[in-house]
Amino acid sequence: MIAVQLQSRSLALIPSLIRMRHNPPYRVGCRARVYSRTPPSSDDVAQLQAITCESSEDIESVGSYLSEIVDDIDVLLLRGDLGAGKTTLTRGLIRSKFNDPEMMVTSPSYLLDNCYQYGEHLFIHHMDLYRLPAGCDMGILNIPHVFSTSLSIIEWPDRLSPELIPESYLGLTISIDSASQQRSIQLEPRGKKWEERAPQLNQLIKSIISRNNTA
């Protein structure tokens, strides 16, 4: 573990830890399937259905499905209240990337950044910015470099200053139904890179809905 300190505008120092897990290189053959990429239509981008999840297992499976679409360099911005399931979704994605359904994937709430190496030069950065004040100096996290070189999954992205938000990213908003406690996950592709993948996202959503209807 590497101990670091983070200066912010409103706090003198915020102690944190960045943890890196090294695993054997991820084998491409472990991927379940990769959807073909076709030019998107405006309907593909505008009409992405929300995904309803009745359990934490359902939320995790959404992350597993997403692992088939994300590239080695991509940014996912996860929004939702405390306990909505942001880390659960991330766990499904990371476990799928490592082909390890029992892999421990925990919230980086106190560490700020959990970094997983799944290939010789392939990294997943899972960040939780909840404990940081909005707009604080995040230079120690080296976010521009992380976004440009790895698969980055960011919880509480509203803490980022506007200049750190990338041009292209996949937004995921998890809402909680107060009566049923079901989760609704809305996918929001932003920028050309993700808008071009709108057909894949639509196909992913249809696959999940089809699975839920036959379960």
Residues 159-178: pLDDT tens digits?
Answer: 999 999 999 999 999 999 99
Separation between Cα atoms, residue 152 and residue 144, nearest integer Å: 11
CA atoms within 13 A on the CB side of 56: 8
pTM listed for this prediction: 0.79
149 membership: H or E segment, kind and range: helix 143-149
Q: What is the largest CA-CA distance in the chain?
A: 54
CATH of the domain at 42: 3.40.50.300
**Whole-number pLDDT of residue 215:** 65
Q: State mean pLDDT over 70-89.
A: 97
pLDDT of residue 135: 73
CB contact set of 202 (below 8 Å; sequence gap of 6+): 44, 47, 48, 49
Task: Return the ∠ at Cα 159 (arms to 168 and 142), rounded to 5°.
Answer: 65
Number of structural domains found in the chain:
1
pLDDT in tens, 170-215: 999 999 999 999 999 999 999 999 999 999 999 988 888 887 777 6
Domain encompassing residue 152:
2-214
Q: What is the pLDDT of residue 129?
A: 95
Rounded to whole angstroms, the Cα distance separating 201 from 211 reads 15
Higher pLDDT, 24 or 60: 60
pLDDT over threshold 50, residue 26: no
Pairing between β-strand 2-6 and β-strand 14-22 as defined by DSSP bridges: antiparallel
